[in-house]
């Protein structure tokens, strides 16, 4: 396994040697270079998101905007729970097969992951549609909203795209991943402008959000096809895949653990707005969603930083350079905090004015919630390199356990905090979750990175 991991990262190692600086400096440089590609698309997406957010919130107000948020959050939650992520399996084991010169083995792994992901995605769509009549009334949805929420279950497709994203990472096409970040915001912006000028309302915006979600998922598979043609030249898209888990040592356990880890990590942020809507109503869910969107400058880089750093850290582990691994992880986490803290302070001073500007008068009074959510986002951003470092060490179970504790074991505290603090309770709960997570990740990474567990 160690020799295969070495071959997996030979290209990255050669590239790192060709650049100024080696060791932890080259590792951090690679992480930042990858992150730069991803943030380029996210910056454009952020501008477009801000425009359509203002249009939607001013047209709908807190209550109807909350309904829109809940309909989307419901589909995303079902997708994140039932869908299967093939990202880490494709990157690790598909990359190993390629570096071993086994294109047929690489193709089998990709087909295997794609079949599982698409199958689970189809199941998630069906389950989401069946449960709408039961869940919708408890979340304050009108009969018209429930009727459109059933086909909105197709929005689960937006969460079914991990396998092609893994292909793009192996092919070093972070530029296409960056472009993909703008697909959904662009469609939402164009659609929101159309609904605005047509005098439409909630149903119109839900329709636009559905189109954007489906396009987001399909676009990633299209980009993945570009990477497939490069990586699997000579291999058919349709071909053998059965028995891949049996024939590939460690694959089954690895993908089960990493997928469960991703599911648990996505569970809390997707479950929170639904819990708030269930207990406090759509208006409270709308306020929470606006504060989350206002702090998305801190939230989105968390996912992107994990994506940008994982391949670099895995390369350092394969070379046996744990000193470089430690330096890269700690400096990436420190850089994340250094960027996040000034943003949190800025939101603390201008929070209420920002919410009113973005959403209108119905969103006034959410400054405390905004600050709490921003603090939680900052902790999550800094913890991303730590979690990637543990996974690169071949210990995804560590971050999975922490995610399980913070997302599930601490979840029962959310209703109690909502009862005690109102909508602000969601902010206190998010801060508690991410605070516990970053401390635990730091302790485990410091211990496990001292010696190669392999």
Rounded CA gap, 402 and 441, in Å?
A: 7
Confirm whether 200 is domain-assigned: yes
Residue 454 lies in a domain: no
The CA distance from 4 to 396, in Å, is 19
Q: Pick 228 or 192 by higher pLDDT.
A: 192
Structural domain of residue 118, as residue ranges?
A: 2-448
Containing H/E element for 25?
A: helix 23-82
Q: Report yes or no on 103 lying in a domain.
A: yes
What mean pLDDT do residues 440-451 have? Answer: 84
Q: How far is CA 209 from CA 202, 271, 376, 396, in A?
A: 11, 19, 27, 34
CA distance 310 to 291: 29
The alpha carbon of residue 151 and the mean position of all alpha carbons in its chain are separated, in whole angstroms, by 24
pLDDT of residue 42: 64
Q: Is residue 351 part of a domain?
A: yes
pLDDT class of 230 with cuts at 50, 70, 90: confident
394: left (phi > 0), else alpha (psi -120 to 50), else beta?
Answer: left
Q: Determine whether 390 is exposed, middle or buried from the number of CB atoms within 10 Å of its CB (0-12, 13-18, 19+).
A: buried
| Torsion sign, CA atoms 419, 424, 430, 431 | negative
248: closest CA among 83, 112, 416, 347?
112
Sign of torsion, CA 270 413 399 26? positive
What Å distances lie between residue 229 and 56, 100, 103, 124, CA to CA?
A: 40, 18, 12, 29
For residues 260, 434, 33 and 321, what is the CA-based torsion angle, rounded to 10 degrees?
-70
**Integer CA distances (angstroms), 93 to 1, 87, 97, 166, 167, in order:** 10, 10, 6, 11, 11
Vertex 414 angle, CA 74 and 443, to 5°: 105
453 falls within a domain: no
Task: Reply yes or no on whether the pLDDT at 315 is more than 70.
Answer: no
| Residue 439 pLDDT exceeds 90 | yes
Say how many domains are in the chain.
1
- Look at 38-47, 265-274, 358-367, 425-434 and tell me which has the smallest mean pLDDT: 38-47
Greater confidence (234 vs 410) lies with: 410
Of 7-11, 189-193, 326-330, 338-342, which one has max mean pLDDT?
189-193
Q: What is the DSSP string of 258-305?
A: HHHHHHHHHHHHHHHHHHHHHHH-HHHHHHHHHHHHHTHHHHHHHHHH
Q: What is the pLDDT of residue 180?
A: 86
Residue 7 has pLDDT above 60, yes or no: no
Classify residue 270 by burial, with Cβ atoms within 10 Å: 0-12, 13-18, 19+: buried
**pLDDT for 352:** 77
**181: Cβ–Cβ under 8 A, 6 or more apart, which residues?**
38, 41, 42, 44, 45
pLDDT tens digits for range 241-259: 776 666 676 677 777 777 7
Predicted confidence (pLDDT) at residue 13 exceeds the cutoff of 60: no
Contact between 248 and 227 under an 8 Å Cβ cutoff? The reply is no
In a domain, 181, yes or no: yes
Residue 441 lies in a domain: yes
Q: What is the pLDDT of residue 333?
A: 82
Q: Please report how many Cα atoms fall inside a 13 Å half-sphere around the Cα of residue 69, on the Cβ side.
A: 33
Q: What are the tokens at 173?
A: 């096409």
User: Which pLDDT score is estimated for 405?
Assistant: 83
pLDDT at 19: 35
Q: Quick one: pLDDT at residue 135?
A: 92
Query: What percentage of the chain carries pLDDT values higher than 90?
Result: 30
Strands (E), 154-208: none
- Whether the predicted pLDDT of 102 surpasses 60: yes
What pLDDT shows up at residue 33?
61
With CA atoms as reference, report the closest residue to 266 among 416, 131, 404. Answer: 404
In this predicted model, what pLDDT tens digit does every residue of 39-89 receive, in sequence order?
A: 555 667 777 888 899 999 999 998 899 999 999 999 988 988 887 776 677
CA-CA distances (angstroms) from residue 258 to 207, 239, 278, 391? 33, 25, 30, 8
Task: Report d(CA 188, CA 171) in Å as an integer.
Answer: 29
Q: For the ranges 5-9, 177-181, 449-453, which has the lowest average pLDDT?
A: 5-9
417 pLDDT band (50/70/90 cuts)? very high
Share above pLDDT 70 across residues of the chain, in percent, rounded to a whole number: 81
pLDDT at 344 over 70: yes
Q: What is the pLDDT of residue 14?
A: 40
Task: Give the per-residue pLDDT at 26.
Answer: 53
Structure token digits, residue 237? 């898209």
Is 287 inside a domain boundary? yes
* 3-state DSSP assignment of residue 172: coil
Q: Confirm if 286 and 63 have CB atoms less than 8 A apart.
A: yes
Compare 6 and 86 and report the one with higher pLDDT: 86
**Is the per-residue pLDDT at 21 higher than 50?**
no
347 pLDDT tier (thresholds 50, 70, 90): confident
Confidence category of residue 203, pLDDT binned at 50, 70, 90: very high
- pLDDT averaged over the chain? 80
Cβ–Cβ < 8 Å for 122, 86: no
Distance CA 134, CA 272 (A): 19
Assigned token pair, 251: 């694959």
**DSSP one-letter string for 66-133:** HHHHHHHHHHHHHHHHHS---HHHIIIIIHHHHHTT-HHHHHHHHHHHHHHHHHHHHHHHHHHHHHHH
- The predicted model gives 14-29 an average pLDDT of 44
In the predicted structure, residue 1 carries a pLDDT above the cut 50: no
């Amino acid at each position: 396994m160690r020799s295969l991991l070495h071959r997996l990262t030979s290209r990255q190692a050669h590239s790192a040697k060709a650049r100024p600086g080696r060791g932890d400096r080259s590792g951090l440089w690679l992480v930042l270079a990858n992150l730069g590609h991803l943030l380029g698309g996210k910056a454009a997406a952020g501008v477009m998101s801000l425009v359509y957010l203002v249009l939607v919130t001013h047209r709908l107000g807190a209550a109807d905007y909350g309904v829109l948020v809940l309909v989307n959050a419901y589909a995303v939650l079902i997708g994140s729970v039932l869908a299967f992520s093939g990202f880490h399996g494709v990157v690790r084991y598909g990359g190993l097969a390629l570096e071993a010169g086994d294109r047929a083995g690489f193709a089998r792994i990709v087909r295997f992951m794609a079949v599982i992901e698409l199958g689970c995605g189809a199941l998630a769509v069906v389950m989401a549609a069946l449960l709408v009549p039961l869940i919708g009334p408890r979340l304050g949805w009108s009969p018209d909203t429930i009727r459109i929420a059933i086909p909105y279950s197709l929005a689960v497709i937006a969460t079914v795209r991990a396998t092609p994203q893994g292909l793009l990472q192996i092919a070093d096409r972070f530029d296409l991943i960056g472009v993909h970040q703008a697909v959904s915001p662009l469609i939402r912006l164009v659609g929101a402008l159309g609904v605005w000028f047509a005098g439409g309302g909630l149903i119109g915006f839900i329709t636009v959000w559905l189109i954007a979600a489906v396009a987001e998922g399909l676009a990633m598979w299209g980009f993945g096809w570009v990477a497939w043609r490069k990586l699997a030249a000579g291999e058919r898209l349709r071909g053998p895949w059965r028995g891949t888990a049996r024939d590939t040592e460690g694959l089954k356990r690895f993908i089960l653990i990493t997928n469960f880890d991703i599911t648990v990590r996505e569970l809390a942020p997707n479950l929170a707005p639904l819990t708030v809507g269930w207990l406090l109503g759509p208006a409270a869910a709308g306020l929470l969603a606006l504060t989350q969107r206002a702090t998305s400058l801190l939230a989105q880089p968390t996912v992107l930083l994990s994506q940008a750093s994982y391949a670099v850290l895995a390369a350092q582990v394969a070379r046996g350079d744990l000193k470089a691994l430690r330096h890269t992880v700690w400096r990436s986490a420190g850089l994340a905090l250094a960027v996040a803290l000034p943003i949190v302070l800025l939101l603390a001073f201008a929070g209420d004015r920002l919410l009113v500007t973005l959403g209108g008068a119905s969103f006034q009074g959410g400054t405390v919630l905004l600050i709490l959510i921003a603090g939680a986002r900052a902790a999550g951003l800094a913890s991303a390199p730590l979690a990637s470092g543990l996974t690169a060490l071949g210990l995804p179970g560590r971050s999975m356990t922490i995610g399980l504790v913070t997302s599930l074991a601490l979840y029962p505290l959310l209703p109690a905090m909502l009862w005690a603090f109102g909508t602000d309770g969601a902010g206190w709960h998010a801060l508690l979750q991410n605070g516990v997570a970053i401390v635990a990740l730091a302790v485990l990474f410091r211990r496990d990175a001292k010696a190669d567990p392999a």
